[in-house]
Amino acid sequence: MPFTPFHMGPGIVVKALLQGSFSLMVFGWAQIVMDIQPLIVMISGEGHLHGFSHTYLGATFLAVLSALSGKYLSQVGLFVIGLNKLWAVNISWWVSFLSAFIGTMSHVLLDSIMHSDVEPFFPFTKNNEFLGLMSVQSLHKVCLYSALVGGALYFGVNCLNKLNKENH
């Protein structure tokens, strides 16, 4: 699923559950970083489409890269779109790393289910036991529905928190 919003669905559920302990911006940045290698292959026509970046070992390396760069990029991005007035939102390092690792690892899992060239456990094995775990159509539905459920949960939890604060 290169450069697709489908990967964001599960991230929205995690955001709804973890709230401020998870950065959807860093998670989203990790999705983009994961698909840079496939983009280069698509443009150049050379290489393994879902190569090292789509292994758990490669995803670990890219999670660290995404966390280190994503913390600051996300804070700037939130400021630019007006959600971070005077840098009031400071994404902690542990939140950045947690969000990036969830992003890259879930990316490998989702792509392992639908792409036959993904070798998630390389270099230990080239087998992909996740391939065909469900149909691509079902996987897309799970991702889409998780975005909808996650969005509803996120706003529901925020509304309950506001009501709770008003009543105390």
Q: Find the mean pLDDT for residues 33-54.
A: 94
pLDDT of 2 strictly over 60:
no
Q: What is the pLDDT of residue 88?
A: 66
Least confident of 44-58, 98-112, 153-167: 153-167
CA dist list (Å): 167 to 39, 42, 140, 143, 159: 51, 55, 41, 36, 12
Are 120 and 55 in contact, with CB atoms under 8 Å apart? yes
Angle at 20 between CA 72 and CA 6, to 5 degrees: 75
Are 90 and 26 in contact, with CB atoms under 8 Å apart? no
- Six-digit token string for 130: 């996740």
Q: What is the pLDDT of residue 110?
A: 97
pLDDT tens digits for range 104-158: 999 999 999 999 999 999 999 999 999 999 999 999 999 999 999 999 999 999 8
DSSP class per residue in 83-137: SSGGG-----HHHHHHHHHHHHHHHHHHHHHH-TT--TTTTT----TTTTSS-HH
Tell me the domain boundaries of the chain. 5-167
Torsion sign, CA atoms 88, 91, 22, 58: positive
Q: What is the pLDDT of residue 162?
A: 86
How does residue 30 score in pLDDT terms, banded at 50, 70 and 90? very high
Are 155 and 14 in contact, with CB atoms under 8 Å apart? no
Its pTM stands at 0.91
